[in-house]
Structure 1
Amino acid sequence: MTMFSTIRLRAGALLAGFALALSGCFMTPGKFTSELAITGPDSFTFSYEGEIFFLGLSKLAQMDAANESFTASCFSEETYESRDCTPEEEATQREEWEAGAAYRAEEAKKKADQMAALMGGIDPSDPKAADELVKLLSRQKGWERVVHKGDGVFDVSYRISGTMSHDFTFPMIEGFPPTNPFVQVYLRKGGQVRINAPGFWAQNGDTGGLGTLLGAGSFASLAAMGAAEEAAKAGNDPEAIPGVPVLDGTFTIRVAPGMRILANNTDEGPVADASGETLIWRVSPRTTQAPTALIAAAP
């Protein structure tokens, strides 16, 4: 690994992570199974089993705090290979680093405050932050299991049933802004139901496991490019970003008799049986369209 590659990956991941996390993209699915059953004209059951990754509680979001000690970095302008710094270069870099200490501290405090605001007041730098999030989710209806697996990854079981009297979004977490939905259900006039799953696609096939989390912007592309390069050199899957679970799951919509599917973007289309019709999306880093369907009561 060259020093240039390390710097590029670290800077790209940090900038992408914080810039887009602070605009709302701070949660992403990992390995999961999810199902929405439209059990009648005015009733539904929704479930989600699997991983949810919270950027603010991961090592990725804390990389700048973990690298506060000074290290001189020099590389060849022709080959970009790392090389030893001269005493003069090291002294100059140290002087610049020390001059920016106050600014870095101020920015770190600002980022921590912004992330805490996104996470219902939970301070992500607090060692007990993951436990606080477990408590927060566990007291909400529907969250039947919440286990922190480490590095911001939670294993959850969510299940809820209700009436189709209002719109529905998952996840909805107390104190969190509703800006990072995995699944949305919108009620339309005339008995129609619009279902979107913006969290169940990669948004950009070139960004691998970071697609849903970081989107398709230039920062994300830079981070993914560097990570893919280093993963390939190490003989690992270039789509797997260290610390971020790979998007891998199944989303199913079941429609009871008396309801009909007006539109959908599955590959195979609806499958009919005695219990109604079923739509299935298989989700991976190569998924380039968010699952969507339009359901209505049969005339």
Structure 2
Amino acid sequence: MTRLTRWLVLLAAPLLLASCILVPTKFVSTLDIKADRSFTFTYVGEVQLLKSKSESAPVDEENMNANPGDGNSEQSWDEGDGEPRMIQIAARAKPKAKTKGKADETFGESDEDAAKLQQLATTLRGEYGFRSVRYIGNRKLAIDYRISGRLDHAFVFPFNPDGEIMFPFLAIELRGKDRLRVKAPGFANDESASSSMGGMGGMGGMGGDEGPGSLLDGSFTLTTTADVVSQNQEDGAQTQPDGSKKIVWTVSPNTRDAPMAVLRVSPLP
């Protein structure tokens, strides 16, 4: 795992234990990256807040402090795979399994929930890029987000510590002077990855039997004039009439691999 996603997971771990996590449901998202590093990202659709505090199982303090396999409580990183130990701690405190048909226990709404979500909508409307945020009931927000800029630094969406939104739908990382890595961990339902949260591969195991990955219904489109070094869409990049490349990922509960691409762009000084 790269340095950026390591720290994102470390930041997210306390929220997995005691807060609300924003997850995508029905959406259309686009990302356009030019060879000169200029970009535009959009997300239009619904998001849902997954409540984890009341459903979480008690944390096993003994197991949290122990390093599985060798009993070394001092080690905070797994030497075998280089992943943060906090990731595994967060995974152990995931919600108890729900019985079939009990999705409302995870996504159901109380008066307190409604008030909190109304407040969150107000908070997000004050953030740059959020053109519209509406609370539509049933723990859902309708979002219209658009932002443009230059990728001379990392970019993460969404990221609002005050609003308790930490789990990234999309992360763009700088890789050396002339490469960018795009990954969308929020647009996948990789249960094996999310059970450890180590790979930032998806969200399948974050919410018990009725996890957030079961709600995914959308598309993510990457267009670029940069060189596509690698990508994981099996149909590959399609060349457009203007010479740009287009990659489309259809996102559903069956999506196991988070959309990913590495691009070669103009080098930084």
Interval containing the TM-score (normalised by the shorter chain): 0.5 to 0.7
Give the conservation status (yes or no) of the 8 Å contact 2:21–2:165. Answer: no
**2:46 is the counterpart of 1:55:** no
Q: Does structure 2 retain, via aligned residues, the 8 Å contact 1:31–1:245?
A: no
SS of 2:223's partner is strand
- How far did residue 142 of structure 1 move? 0.5
1:216 lines up with 2:184 in the alignment: no
Structure 1 match to 2:29: 34
Q: Say whether 1:252 aligns with 2:252.
A: no
Name the CA distance, whole Å, in 1 between partners of 2:35 and 2:224.
Answer: 8
- The 5-angstrom pairing of residues 1-299 of structure 1 reads 21-22=16-17, 26-56=21-51, 125=112, 127-176=114-163, 179-204=166-191, 213=203, 215-216=204-205, 220=208, 223-224=209-210, 246-256=215-225, 259-275=226-242, 276-297=244-265
Q: What is the alpha-carbon distance in structure 2 between the residues aligned to residue 142 and residue 51 of structure 1? A: 16
Q: Is the 8 A contact 1:251 1:280 kept in 2?
A: yes
Does the 8 Å contact 1:37/1:44 carry over to 2?
yes
CA contact (8 A) 1:260 1:298 kept: no
Separation in 1 of the partners of 2:181 and 2:55?
A: 40
Give me the whole-angstrom Cα distance separating, in 1, the residues matched to 2:218 and 2:184. 12
Contact 1:182 1:200 in 2 (8 A): yes
Q: 1:29 to 1:178 in 2, by over 3 A?
A: closer
Q: Distance in 2 between matches of 1:24 and 1:62?
A: 9
Question: How big is the shift at 1:29?
Answer: 0.5
Q: Secondary structure at the match of 2:185?
A: coil
Deviations 1:194-250 (A, max 9, x none): 001000001139x9xxx955x337x82xx34xxxxxxxxxxxxxxxx8x99720110
Q: Distance in 1 between matches of 2:188 and 2:114?
A: 31
Query: Secondary structure at 1:132's aligned position in 2?
Result: helix
Tell me, in whole angstroms, the C-alpha distance in 2 between the residues paired with 1:189 and 1:266.
24
CA contact (8 A) 1:41 1:191 kept: no
Distance 1:192 1:179, change over 3 A: same
Q: Are residues 23 and 279 of structure 1, via their aligned partners in 2, closer, same or farther at CA, if it must alter by over 3 Å?
A: farther
**Mind listing any 5+ residue stretches in structure 2 that lack a counterpart?**
1-13, 57-110, 195-200
Q: CA RMSD in A?
A: 3.3
The alpha carbon displacement at 1:61 in A equals 6.8
CA gap of 1:40–1:25, structure 2 versus 1, over 3 A, is farther
Distance 2:55 2:169 in 1: 26
Q: State the AA in 1 paired with 2:205.
A: A
Gaps of 5+ in 1: 1-18, 65-123, 225-240
Task: Report the structure number with the largest CA radius of gyration.
Answer: 1
The answer (yes or no) to whether the contact 2:227–2:264 under 8 Å persists in 1 is: yes
Q: Is the 8 A contact 1:186 1:195 kept in 2?
A: yes
1:115-164 Cα shifts (integer Å, max 9, x gaps): xxxxxxxxx82652222111100011100111111121111000000011
The SS at the match of 1:289 is: coil
Asked if the contact 1:25–1:180 (Cα under 8 Å) also holds between the matched residues in 2, the reply is no
Structure having the larger proportion of residues in helix: 1
Task: State how far apart, in whole Å, the 2-side matches of 1:129 and 1:25 are.
Answer: 10
1:46 CA drift (Å): 0.3
Q: Residue 263 of structure 2: SS of its match in structure 1?
A: strand
**How many matched pairs?**
193
Provide the TM-score with structure 1 as the length reference: 0.57
